[in-house]
A and B are shown apart, each in its own frame.
Chain A
Amino acid sequence: MTQEIVAPLDGKVCQLHISAGDKVEEDEEILVIEAMKMETPIYTPCDGIVREVRVKAGDEVTENDVLAVIDEEHIEV
C-alpha cells in the first residue's frame, strides 16, 4: 500500500531530508515548507520506504500538491 504525502499549505520547500529508496519511520520529519515566515515540518504517516520524491529543495508548492510517495511497510504476522 502506498501513502501520498501532500502539501498542507502553499510555500517553498526549504529543507528536504529524504531520497527515493530511503527507509522512514512513522512521524519522521521528511521535509519542511516555508510560508508566511514560518517553517512547517512535514512528517511521514507510516513506516515505509520512500518510493518517490516529487519536489526538491527550493521548489514552490501549492496546497494539496503531492510531495512524496511512501511504500507503507507491512508487518508480517
Chain B
Amino acid sequence: MKPYFEKMIEFGHALKKGRIKSTEENLNHIKNIEADVADEMSRVKLAGFSEEEINARGQMTVWQRLEYLVDPGTWCPLHTLYNPMNNEEGTTNVIDGVGKISGKWAVIIGFDNKVMAGAWLPGQSENILRVTDLSKRLNIPLVWLVNCSGAKLTEQEKFYANRRGAGTPFFRHAELEQLGIPVLAGIYGTNPAGGGYQSISPAILFAHKDCNMAVGGIGIVSGMAPKGEFDLESAEEIIEKAKQFRAKPPGSVNIHYNETGFFRYVFDDETGVLDGIKNYMKDMPAYPPKFFRVAEPKESRFPIDDLYRLIPLNPKRVYDFEEVLARLVDASEHMEFHPDYGPEVYTGLCKIDGFLVACIGNRQEYLGRHYPEYADYAGMGGKLYRQGLIKMNEFVTLCGRDRIPVIWFQDSSGLDVGDDAEKAELLGLAQGLVYSIQQTDVPMMLLLLRKGTASAHYLMGGPTANRHNAFSIGTVASEIYVMHGETAAVATYSRRLVKEKEAGRPLEPIIEKMNQLAKAYHEKSRPRFCAKSGMIDEIVPLSDLRKYIATFAGAAYQNPKSICPHHQLILPRIIKG
C-alpha cells in the first residue's frame, strides 16, 4: 500500500511571529502548571523511606529497579497521582506504566518498597485492575516487581474484600494467563499472605535469594489462636514466636525453590532478578514492527513545543485542532475521512512511528450559519451534531473492520440539545456510537486535550469505554464534569430562587449556595483531582504527548489479536474514493 501511506497529504502550518508573540503568556502559564504537577509527582516518588535508607539495607528501591529494568527513554508512567481513597501516604503504593524491556512493550507494575515495605493500601486493587485491564487490552506482557508486606492491617476494611478488592487481581492474573498473556514477576523481600498470592499468581517467578512468599507471615503465625484479649502472658508468647519466625520467616527460597519449585529462578543479586526478566522478555511473543508499519517512522514537520502555543489553557478559547494534530503525527501527514461532512469532528488516518492509527477529535471553530442543517441556529465546534455523530459511527466501525487502533482527542462541551436536536435523532445516534465502539474490538486511547463534558465524554472513547480504552491521558488544561459548575448551580437552584422570590424572602443565601456549588465543581474538575480520582490515568506534559501516543501505537501493534492485511484495508480506499 505504498501509494497510500508512504506520502500522505501534508497538513498544518508553521507558527508565524505574530502568533508566537500572542501566545507567550499561554505557554508560560501551561509550563508553570506542568512544573507544579511535576513537583506533586516528585512527592509521590519520595514517599516513605529515602533511597539511601533502602539502599543501606542492601535493597534497591522500586524506582531503581524500574530504571534498571526498562529500556532507556521508553517509560510512560501511569497513575502516578492516583489516590482515590485519599491515603495519608499519598499513593496507592504501586508504581506502574508502559515501557519496553529488551525491546518489547510491557505493562510494568511494582510495589513501592519504601512505603510500609510495599503494603496493600486502600485504592491499590483498583489501581492494579487498571493495569491488568491495560495488559489485556493491549495484549502485551504484564511484568510485576513484587515486594509486598501484606495488608495495612489498620485499614483492611477499605480494601481486603469486595468485587474489586485486593484479591481480585489474582483472578485477573489467571484471566490474562488463560488469554495467553504472560505475567512475569520479580520477587523481593517478605511477601506474606496477600503478598504471597501476588508472588505466586504470575506465570514465571524470578526470586531474589533473600525473598520469601507464604500463605501467612510472621504476624499471622504469631497470633493464630485468639483468646479474647491480650495480657502480659500472651504478650510474652507473641514475643517468643515473633523472634523465632523473624530468624526464619516462612516460605523462604529454600522452601519454594528447593522443596516446591514454585520459584523458577533464584538470583543472588537484585539486578540478577531484573536481568532474568530482561532475558525472558527477549523471547516474548511479538511481531517485528516492520510487520505492521505502513511507512518509515518520521517526526512531525513542526516542533512539538508549538503545542504550548496552540492549546489554550482558557477552556472557552477556540483553536485549530488540525494544527495540534499536525504536531503529533508522523510527517504531519494524514488522509481525512469525509472532510466535507460533520465539520465539528475530525476523523482521519495518520501514522505514528510508522504505524497506521485512526484519529478522531473535536474541532473548535465556528461552523457557520447553515450548520447544523436541521436547525435555524448556528453551530459551534466542541459540540456534537447529527452529521458528526454519523461520521464517527461510520469511521469507528470501519476502523474495527480494518483493525486500526483508535486515538480519541477529546475537547467537547457535549451534544446539541433541544427539540430540533431530538428530532435530528441525536440521542439514538449517540447511543449508536456507543454500540459502534462496543462492537469494534481494537485498542483505543483517549487524549483529553481540555474538556470532557456531558455525554460526549462517554461517547468519544473515554475511560467509560472500559474494555476498549487502554488508557486515558490528560493535560494540565483538562477538566471533567457533567456540566459546567455555573450551569449545574442554575439547574439545582433555579426553582428555589423562584420560590424564595415569590415568598418575599432574601435571595442571598441561595446565591451563596450557588456560588459554593460552582466553586466545588471547579475544584473537582481540575486535572489533579481527575488524576487522583482516576478519571484520567496520567497528566502528561504537552511535550510528551507524542511519546505516549507512540507507545500506545507500538504496544497495540506488538501482538494484536487480529490482523487485517494492508492490501485488504477498506478505509483508505473509501477515503480515496
Chain A 36-73 against B: per-residue CB contact (8 Å), 1 yes, 0 no?
A: 11111101100100000000000000010000000000
Please, which residue of chain A has its CB at the minimum distance from the CB of B317?
A39
C-alpha spacing A25/B318, complex, angstroms: 20
Q: Give the residue among A37, A38, A44 with the most B Cβ atoms within 10 A.
A: A38
Q: A26 within 8 Å of B by Cβ?
A: yes
A5 contacts partner chain B, Cβ-Cβ < 8 Å: no
Question: Which B residues touch A20, using CB under 8 A?
Answer: none
Q: Which of A25, A39, A41, A63 has a CB less than 8 Å from the CB of B16?
A: A25
Interface residue stretch chosen among B61-69, B362-370, B512-520 = B362-370
Contact B18 A38 (CB under 8 A): no
Q: Please tell me if the beta carbons of A9 and B366 are within 8 angstroms of each other in the complex.
A: yes
What DSSP secondary structure best describes chain A's contact surface? Answer: loop
A63 to B380, alpha carbons, bound, how many Å? 14
> How far, in Å, is A41 (CB) from chain B's closest CB?
7
Chain B residue contacts of A28, Cβ below 8 A = 17-19, 21-22
- Contact among B15, B318, B369 with A41 in the assembled complex (CB-CB below 8 Å): B318
A27→B306 CA distance, assembly (Å): 14
A49 to B413, CA, bound (A): 37
A43 contacts B380, C-beta separation under 8 Å = no
B-side interface mostly = loop
Supposing A8-B366, A40-B366 touch, asked if A25 and B21 sit within 8 A by C-beta, the answer is yes
Q: Are A36 and B380 in contact (CB under 8 A)?
A: yes
Q: Cβ of B474 < 8 Å from any Cβ of A? A: no
B residues near A40, Cβ cutoff 8 Å? 318, 365-366
Question: Are B17's CB and A26's CB within 8 A?
Answer: yes
Which B residue sits closest to A45, measured CB to CB? B18
Q: Which residue of B lies closest to A28 (CB)?
A: B18
**Contact in complex: A27, B413 (CB < 8 Å):** no
Contact B18 A41 (CB under 8 A): no
Q: Could you jot down 26 A-B contacts, CB within 8 Å?
A: A8-B366, A10-B378, A25-B17, A25-B18, A25-B21, A26-B18, A27-B15, A27-B17, A27-B19, A27-B22, A28-B17, A28-B19, A29-B19, A29-B23, A34-B316, A36-B366, A36-B380, A38-B316, A38-B317, A38-B318, A38-B366, A38-B380, A38-B381, A39-B316, A41-B22, A41-B317
